[in-house]
Structure 1
Amino acid sequence: MRFIFVCCMLLSFCMFSQEDTRAKQYFKKGEYEKAKISYQKLLDNRPNNIIYINALAETLQQLQQYTKVDSLLNQALTAVKYPAFLIEIGYNFQLQNDLVKANENYEKAIKSIEINTSYVNSIAKTFQDHSLLDFAIRAYEKATALNEDLDFTIQLSRLYGEQGNIEKMFISYVDFIEKEPIYKDDLKRIFNDFLSEDPENENNIILKKTLLRKIQQNPDLIWNELLSWLFIQQKEFNKAFTQEKAIYNRKPESLNRMEQLASIATAQEDYATATKVYNYIIDTTQDTDTKLNAQYNLLQFKTKLAPEKDYKSIQTTYLKLFETYGTQTQTLKLQIAYGHFLAFYLHQTHEAEVFLKKTLKLKLKDQQKAEIKLELADILVLQEKFNEALIYYTQIQRSLKNSVISQEARFRVAKTSYYKGDFKWAESQLNILKQSTSQLIANDALDLKLLISDNKYEDSTQAALKLYAKADLLAYQNKPKEAIVVLDTLLQNHGIEPIAEQALYKQAKLFEAQKEYSKAENNYLNLIANNKDGLLTDDAYFYLAELYKDKLNLPEKAKSLYEYIIFNFSDSIYFVEARTQFRILRGDAINQ
């Protein structure tokens, strides 16, 4: 008997759930008569269900049966004692353009808060659902006036924002942070929806002024932190640095925030500010690891940016650091970087090998040994000593199985085989790496695998693919001019083969690195003209737009290309950035 009862209950619940779904679907499709019947059935089973009362009322309003709505809601108000129904009754009058009766009911709803302040949540939400924001604000304010323990700052702030009263919204949120600083990061995410990268954007200016007023009224470090954050959003890293110094001077506990700022400035290519911040860290910290890490990061982008005549100065910096701190495990990152610098920039490959092999004799963990061997193997590839390089890569794979560095070593085995022209072995390794736990390695492996598989059957000698691999190796060897020449040969002899698209694109990137921007532009235009449905067409549009925007100072041309991506490449990885850049060039306030 009990089993039968349970089965009946489950069957009843299932049928009820189906009716609920059916009612929603009817309403969504605009089949309001059918929705009305379904919601009435649901309400007959649960006569005091607020959701079904409101749903039926909304359905009847769509059918313009306002008298029935009024009767339904008044009966519900008597039965359920749910004051938010007063708003629904008022809104029903509003739909009939009877604003007097509408406002009478809205006022009754607000007055009901005097009976019980807990009514405010449903009342304010119902006002908000009908975009009656002034009434929603009054509801929260009334409840707060009646009970000082209630705090609706967040809800009110959100409503001010919906009203478009940005200044009042920021002031309210900032006041809330003053009371509840633990919510600072949550509110940053909210602020971000109203801010732009443009420092002159009105909303940005309002928030900055609000925070500056707070600093004057109550010089708490949280305001400096928020100002720093705002300046970072605006890419004014030097101004952020000023705030970070003020924070550190008053609270010299950690330089982590400084390190984060330097890292962000570097990523955004504001090397001048990054240099200032790293030098500040070096001059300020008493911690050797922090100092060495700053030196390492500083040397990385200095090397990248330096003309060849400055390489000796960079080498001197490395040698002075080793003289001061020694060639021990504490300076391991710097030693690996120096080995790379010797080989790839000074072209002193033998000296680099000797130096790193000496480093390998230190008392090291397996991970540290692997990092040195990876660099050593890369230097051997640079010299085209492929077999020796493969030995080191294989040792890494064996010593640290399934680790990220092991997968990186496997990828470089594949890349080395590809440089050698052993495309079959390279492809077999890349097939394994497509499943790598590192998404970056998996993506790189897939790209190289597709390059090989798409082009290895074009001719029996694989001449075009070998030329492309040779150009790739020259680019790796930091010989961009030689790589460009090889790609020219490929394009002249194999210009109608599919790999020509890859060659044009790679050559364009090399031209950009050489600051030969007009040649890069020609390559991108060639790609666009001759490969309308090519794999790299969206890349060509995007990077040509970037070239016009950042290097050739042709913003209107850039804007039209970003717009083209928006309308023609909605599934492209560049879609979001193209839309953002288009809106910036058009003068929009981003994130609003």
Structure 2
Amino acid sequence: MLIRSKVIIALLWLSSVGLVYGQAGATLADEYYKAGEFEKAANEYAKLLKTEVTWVRLSRYVTSLQKSNKTEDALKYLRKQQRSDEPNRAYYELLTGQMATQQGDTVQAKTQYAAAVQSSKSSTAKLEKIATAFSEAGETRWAIRALETARDVSKEPTAYSEDLMALYRATGQTEKAIDEIITTSKQSDKKETVLAALQGFINTKDEPLVEKALYTKIQQEPNELAYNELLIWYFVQKQKFSRALLQEKATDKRLKLSGSRVYDLGMLAMNNKEYKTAAESFEYITTTYPQGQLYPFARRLVINAREEQVKNTYPVDKVEIRKLISDYQRMLQEIGTNVKTLEALRSTANLYGNYLDQKDTALTVLDLAIDLGKSDKNFVDRCKLDKGDIYLLKGEPWESTLLYSQVEKSQKEELLGYEAKLKNAKLQYYKGSFAVAKDILDVLKLATSREIANDAEQLSLIIVDNTGMDSTEAAMREYASIDLLLFQNKTDEAVDNLNQMLTKYADHSIVDEVLWLRANTYLKQGKTAEALEDLKKIVAKYPNDILGDDAMFNQGKIYEERLKDKQAAMDAYQKVLTQYPGSIYGAEARKRFRALRGDTVN
């Protein structure tokens, strides 16, 4: 037993010595190789290859021989090893092919590369190794061939998907890359990878291939839901909500989702001001699932989406406003006033107060809403802000500030609280208390809400720009009073006063703001030509003032959306990019310009 133990210890010692020598030899060989001492490197790699064959050692050994002007020795070695070392035969075939490539013999190279793949077909592990070797040798297309073969051997249609995606893209095989990405979507755990990969094609010259590939896949495998979901995702990225809705309806019926995803799409369309598609989404739910849980919400949102359409079509049609109120009333009669329909009361009140000048009716409806929704603090506070606005319409600002301040206190450090603070700042501005207004606005410029911070910044700039050099602040006071008239929907009176200001303060710094305010008022009155003229005056006379880029960008929007003059819109957007390179409208102007030009290249 003692003799046997000594033998084992001796063997372990010898193997450890060999391991240490192997590690040292590998380090020495690599150092020679990196230093360009190829003869010494070849000698060291030759020793190492007798103990273990790896791709790195083998490829560096052959390279070292070639660099030492021993190309024939390298070829003889590879041919000999192909016959005698079956487990690593594929490596020798690959390197033989690589040497043939270097000598310009493409036929022999192709033969050897194909043989390397064939020699590895006995297992996916071998194919993976030879694919890695091909990739490191710079033969990417053969790496692809090896992985495609490995996929066939594994009988897993999505095996090696991420590797193949990258290799297809690296070799310019865009259609195959996209096809691979879409195929990978069948693996639910790869969803984020797939979306990130497809996002890389959005707004590029290859984007049309994505939609084409998705439709092809759906036709080939109509029962594969993952493809349908990808197509919906693609349409949403492109803000093609109506087309996304068609797909969502089909998915909803197929999976019996009770309208949940159609509802989500409707909300997304609403947030993107695609009110027509939003209304269609909610209407689908109300007609398809009249007994469903989403019905009360969708019933209100159908009307709400149409309301937004009416309110954003200038001039606002009062007949349509009355129809909306009737729709809300019918809905409340059908479903009743409860937590699911409370927002309908708010909407009804605001339509009465803001568009039909029935302020007392609006206040009555809001009081009812507050009473019914008293358990929901946020809802009550939103109603209080609405009441504050109605009182301001009535010319009772003291009631307004009382309500705004209540919400400010109730919703401290919350979005609704910041909104209330902004309304209080505007009240001070309307009254002509510009210093007080500015103090509040300076606090709001740090608000977490980007929209509120931007509004505060804009109003603060107007105050600073037009009060510093004018000790009487007379022009600014008149401007603020006109702003209040516009809030109160007294547009005709506001325009008359703006016209008088332009005559009275022709040389004042406030002129560009007056023109801007009048242009936006004209748009609400449906007077497109007059609005466009005022915007052009701002750009011509005050190109470097704070409203220069606003005026130029909005010219583009008018040409694009109202006048349907594609070329004029493109010209305006291009000027935003060239004349106002730091403008906040830069990204949107570039996006619109490219969409009009039909050029999706980044």
* Bin for the TM-score computed over the shorter chain: 0.7 to 0.9
- Length-normalised TM-score, structure 1: 0.77
In the alignment, is residue 209 of structure 1 matched against residue 216 of structure 2? yes
* Cα 1:53–1:365 shift into 2, 3 Å: farther
One-letter amino acid matched to 1:231: F
The answer for the alignment partner of 1:83 in structure 2 is 55
The answer for the alignment partner of 2:364 in structure 1 is 354
In the alignment, is residue 191 of structure 1 matched against residue 201 of structure 2? no
Q: What is the CA–CA distance in structure 1 between the aligned matches of 2:335 and 2:309, rounded to whole Å? A: 21
In the alignment, is residue 329 of structure 1 matched against residue 333 of structure 2? no
In the alignment, is residue 574 of structure 1 matched against residue 585 of structure 2? yes
One-letter amino acid matched to 1:176: T
Contact kept? 2:218, 2:224, Cα under 8 Å: no
The answer for the alignment partner of 1:496 in structure 2 is 507
Deviation, 1:326, is 2.9
The answer for the alignment partner of 1:38 in structure 2 is none
Structure 1 unaligned regions, length at least 5? 1-43, 58-67
Q: What is the CA–CA distance in structure 2 between the aligned matches of 1:134 and 1:402, rounded to whole Å? A: 58
Which residue of 440, 450, 467 corresponds with 1:429?
440
In the alignment, is residue 530 of structure 1 matched against residue 541 of structure 2? yes
The answer for the alignment partner of 2:227 in structure 1 is 223
One-letter amino acid matched to 1:338: T
* Cα 1:408–1:556 shift into 2, 3 Å: same
Q: What is the CA–CA distance in structure 2 between the aligned matches of 1:225 and 1:135, rounded to whole Å? A: 33
The answer for the alignment partner of 1:152 in structure 2 is 160
The answer for the alignment partner of 2:286 in structure 1 is 282
- Range with greater deviation from structure 2 (411-420 or 551-560): 551-560
Deviation, 1:77, is 6.6
| Corresponding residue SS for 2:221 | helix
| Corresponding residue SS for 1:437 | coil
Q: What is the CA–CA distance in structure 1 between the aligned matches of 2:405 and 2:218, rounded to whole Å? A: 56
Residues 165-224 of structure 1, C-alpha deviation per residue, up to 9 Å, x if partnerless? 33322332232222x033234323322332459999454333322333221xxx133333
Contact kept? 1:386, 1:416, Cα under 8 Å: yes
Deviation, 1:258, is 0.9
Residues 408-453 of structure 1, C-alpha deviation per residue, up to 9 Å, x if partnerless? 1111110111111111221121122222222222222222122212
Q: What is the CA–CA distance in structure 1 between the aligned matches of 2:421 and 2:239, rounded to whole Å? A: 38
Q: What is the CA–CA distance in structure 1 between the aligned matches of 2:364 and 2:148, rounded to whole Å? A: 75
Q: What is the CA–CA distance in structure 2 between the aligned matches of 1:164 and 1:530, rounded to whole Å? A: 51
The answer for the alignment partner of 2:173 in structure 1 is 165
- Length-normalised TM-score, structure 2: 0.76
Structure 2 unaligned regions, length at least 5? 1-23, 68-97
The answer for the alignment partner of 2:5 in structure 1 is none
Q: What is the CA–CA distance in structure 1 between the aligned matches of 2:596 and 2:242, rounded to whole Å? A: 23
Q: What is the CA–CA distance in structure 1 between the aligned matches of 2:586 and 2:45, rounded to whole Å? A: 51
Which residue of 543, 554, 560 corresponds with 2:571?
560
One-letter amino acid matched to 1:329: V
Contact kept? 1:87, 1:123, Cα under 8 Å: no
Structure 1 or 2, whichever has the larger Rg, is 2
Q: CA RMSD in A?
A: 3.9
The answer for the alignment partner of 2:84 in structure 1 is none
Contact kept? 2:307, 2:324, Cα under 8 Å: no
Deviation, 1:583, is 2.4
One-letter amino acid matched to 2:458: D
Residues 359-394 of structure 1, C-alpha deviation per residue, up to 9 Å, x if partnerless? 323342332221111110011112221111011111
Aligned counterparts, 1:60-459, within 5 A: 68=36, 83=55, 98=102, 100=104, 107=113, 119=129, 123=133, 126=136, 133-141=140-148, 143-144=150-151, 151-178=159-186, 180-196=187-203, 201-215=208-222, 219-285=223-289, 286-287=292-293, 288-295=295-302, 297-304=304-311, 305=313, 307-362=317-372, 363-459=374-470
Aligned positions, number: 527
Q: What is the CA–CA distance in structure 2 between the aligned matches of 1:396 and 1:314, rounded to whole Å? A: 28
Deviation, 1:521, is 2.0
Q: What is the CA–CA distance in structure 2 between the aligned matches of 1:75 and 1:468, rounded to whole Å? A: 90
Q: What percentage of residue pairs aligned between the two structures are identical?
A: 27
The answer for the alignment partner of 1:466 in structure 2 is 477
Residues 241-300 of structure 1, C-alpha deviation per residue, up to 9 Å, x if partnerless? 222121111222342321232234445554433322221112233225433442453353
* Cα 1:401–1:264 shift into 2, 3 Å: closer
* Cα 1:70–1:176 shift into 2, 3 Å: farther
| Corresponding residue SS for 1:588 | coil
Contact kept? 1:123, 1:139, Cα under 8 Å: no
Q: What is the CA–CA distance in structure 2 between the aligned matches of 1:199 and 1:346, rounded to whole Å? A: 51
Q: What is the CA–CA distance in structure 1 between the aligned matches of 2:579 and 2:212, rounded to whole Å? A: 36
Q: What is the CA–CA distance in structure 1 between the aligned matches of 2:365 and 2:473, rounded to whole Å? A: 38
